[in-house]
Chain A
Amino acid sequence: MPRFRAEDLRQIGYQLFQAAGCTVEDAAAVVDHLVESNLFGHDSHGVLRYYEYTLAIREGRFQPQAQPEIVQERACTAVVDGNGALGQVGATFATNLAIQKAKQHGVATVVLRNTSHIGRAGAYPLLAARSGMMAQILVNAGHLGYQIAPFGGLDGRLSTNPLAFAAPRRQDPPIMLDMTTSVVAEGKIRVAINRGDKVPEGWIIDAQGNPSTDPNDFRKDPPGAILPLGGPVSHKGYGLSIMVELLGGALSGQGCAAGERSMVSNGVLLTVYSIPHFSDLETYYDEVETMIDYVKSSRTASGFKEILLPGEPEFRSAQGRERAGIEVDETTWTRIKDEMLNFGVDPGQWVPE
């Protein structure tokens, strides 16, 4: 399989997206996000999207030149309309705005609509944590919502409604939580279908509401559904999902789950906290490090070698892949090269290692 240095994949992406009509900054927002997905080990959200996005641009479904716009603003709040900009462009804009406002005022909430898919929700709190701040993001899918059953129900009525959170550490990568409020993300069901694998008990039910381990049940007609997070206490995952709908969907103006089958845009709410407005920064770091030492002092469960922090698996993968390079499958690399040619970029200078 072709293998590239992360930096080379970024340069390829910058050239491609700039040729497709993005500004330098917008190309960076999209490309840095996608390459980071590969670094974190989430290849399904990585550079394989290069050709998908540029194809959408060629077909006029994505607007490379669209610029997000602030449509309502107060000192510590804003409503951003992405004006159809690429998701990463809209969400990076909204995040930078929230960071800037929170630095000044202590806390800030920015909501975002009309910006297609924003990608990994965890990327945006991480931007805030890298600026020394804490952030929480809640992301719904607007009026889309047919994948997750409500507690007590057996038809899909909600989407996977992720939430993410990140907080800085003194000298180490941030703490980062990035999770769906369903048992599992839809992508993992799709991967299991493609591989012909079964899924673990407790992920899905079939169209009649019976527990199933066959991922194809999710896609049948009539379709099955993914369960909310929580197993025997899945009213909690259901409740979290409703929270994401109301904060991410209703406050952003993108709207809440209404059964639509294709997504126009995520609805997003991001809240950023400036630590010094609440606590002395050194005290904060001391508390965090003491907690981490204490949590890690637990004996490990059988099958575990160590206790990892939220986000640690991703940062370890990134360290490894920064050194070893990122593998890109042949199909993806061929299609990226085709897209470069489509936009008049010579792929010849990029040779896998």
Chain B
Amino acid sequence: MPRFRPEVLLEIGCELFVAAGCTPSDARTVVDHLVESNLFGHDSHGVIRYPEYMRAIREGRYQARADPEVVQDTPCTAVVDARGALGQIGAHFATELAIEKAQKQGVASVSLRNTCHIGRVGAYPLMAARAGTMAQVFANGGHFGGQVVPFGGIDGRLCTDPLAFAAPRREADPILLDMTTSVVAEGKVRVASYRGEEVPQGWLIDSEGYPTRDPKAFRADPPGSILPLGGVAAHKGYGMAFMVELLGGSLSGQGCTRGAPVVASNGVLLTVHHIESFTDLETYYDEVESLLEHVRSSRLAPGFEEILVPGEPEFRSARQRQSTGIEVDDKTWSMIREELQHFGINSEHWKPE
């Protein structure tokens, strides 16, 4: 499999997105996000999207150049209409705005609509944590929602409704939680289906409501569904999906689940907290470090070699891939090269290692 240094993938991406019409800084925003997904080990959200986005831009479904606009604004709140900008561009804009407001006011909430897919939701609280603030994000699928059953039901009525959170540490990578409120993200079901593998018990039911391990049941006609997070306590995952729908969907104006067949855009709410408006910064860092020390002092469960902090697997993967490079499958690499050719960009000097 071709393997690239991350900087090479960044360079390729920037050239592509600029050629497709993005400003250099917008191109950088999108490409940084996608390459970071690869670094974190989430290849399904990484550079595999380059050709997909290029095609969407060519076909007029995505706008390479669109300026997000603040349509409602107070010192601690804003509503952003991204006017069809790429999701990473809209969400980046909203996050920077929320960080700036929170640093001035102590807390700020910015909602965002009309911006396609924002990608990994954890990326945005992470920006806030890297700026020394704490943040929560809630992202629904607008009117889309037919993947996840309500508690007590057997038909998909909600989407995977992710939420994410990040907080800074004194001298280490931030704490980063990035999770769907369903048992599993849809992408993982798709991957299992492509690979012809079974999924674990407890992920899926078929169209009649029976537990199944066949990922194809999810895409059958009539379709199966993903279960809400929680197993024996799935009413909790279901309740959290409502929280995400209401905060992310209704406050952004993107709307809540009602069965639309495709996602027009995520509906997003991001809330940022400025630590010093609540507590002394050194006290905060002390509390965080002693919490993590206490948690890690537990004996290990069988099969585990250590207790990790939320986000630690991602940051470890990133450090490793920074040094060993990122593998890109042949099909994706050839599709990326086709896109480069399409824009008349010479791809000869970007060779896999």
CA distance A235 to B183 in the complex (A): 11
- A256 to chain B: closest residue by CB: B291
- Does A60 make an interface contact (CB < 8 A)? no
* Contact pick for A278, options B72, B239, B240, CB 8 Å: B72
Determine whether the beta carbon of B249 is less than 8 Å from that of A257: no
Interface centre among A74, A152, A240 (most CB of B within 10 A): A152
* Contact pick for A76, options B105, B134, B290, B310, CB 8 Å: B105
- Does B209 make an interface contact (CB < 8 A)? yes
Closest Cβ–Cβ distance, residue B56 to chain A (whole Å): 27
Q: Mark A279-323, 1 if CB is under 8 A from B, else 0.
A: 100011001101100111111111010111110000000000000
Interface contacts (Cβ under 8 Å), in number, total: 280
Q: Which residues of B contact A288 (CB under 8 A)?
A: 246, 250, 256
- A233 to chain B: closest residue by CB: B183
Q: Mark B160-178, 1 if CB is under 8 A from A, else 0.
A: 0000010100000001010
Q: Mark A184-202, 1 if CB is under 8 A from B, else 0.
A: 1000000000000000111
Q: Which residues of A contact B271 (CB under 8 A)?
A: 107, 271
* Contact pick for B278, options A158, A177, A251, A259, CB 8 Å: A251
Interface residues of B in 294-353 (CB under 8 A from A): 294-302, 304, 306-310
CA distance A109 to B298 in the complex (A): 33
Q: Which residues of B contact A54 (CB under 8 A)?
A: none
Q: Which residues of B contact A157 (CB under 8 A)?
A: 294-295, 297-298
Q: Which residues of A contact B231 (CB under 8 A)?
A: 183, 202, 230-232
| Number of chain A residues whose Cβ lies closer than 8 Å to a Cβ of chain B | 89
- A109 to chain B: closest residue by CB: B107
- B203 to chain A: closest residue by CB: A232
Determine whether the beta carbon of B297 is less than 8 Å from that of A278: no
- A230 to chain B: closest residue by CB: B229
List 6 interface pairs A-B (beta carbons < 8 Å), by A numbering.
A157-B295, A250-B291, A251-B279, A279-B250, A279-B252, A294-B258
* Supplied contacts A156-B298, A298-B154, 20 more A-B pairs, CB within 8 Å: A74-B106, A77-B106, A107-B109, A152-B308, A153-B307, A239-B165, A243-B177, A246-B291, A250-B284, A252-B278, A278-B72, A287-B255, A287-B256, A291-B256, A298-B150, A298-B153, A298-B157, A301-B149, A302-B209, A307-B152
A-side residues, CB < 8 A to B, are: 72, 74-77, 79, 105-109, 111, 134, 136, 145, 149-158, 165, 167, 175, 177, 179, 183-184, 200-203, 209, 229-233, 235-236, 238-240, 242-243, 245-247, 249-253, 255-259, 271, 273, 275, 277-279, 283-284, 287-288, 290-291, 294-302, 304, 306-310
B-side residues, CB < 8 A to A, are: 72, 74-77, 79, 105-109, 111, 134, 136, 145, 149-158, 165, 167, 175, 177, 179, 183-184, 200, 202, 209, 229-233, 235-236, 238-240, 242-243, 245-247, 249-253, 255-259, 271, 273, 275, 277-279, 283-284, 287-288, 290-291, 294-302, 304, 306-310
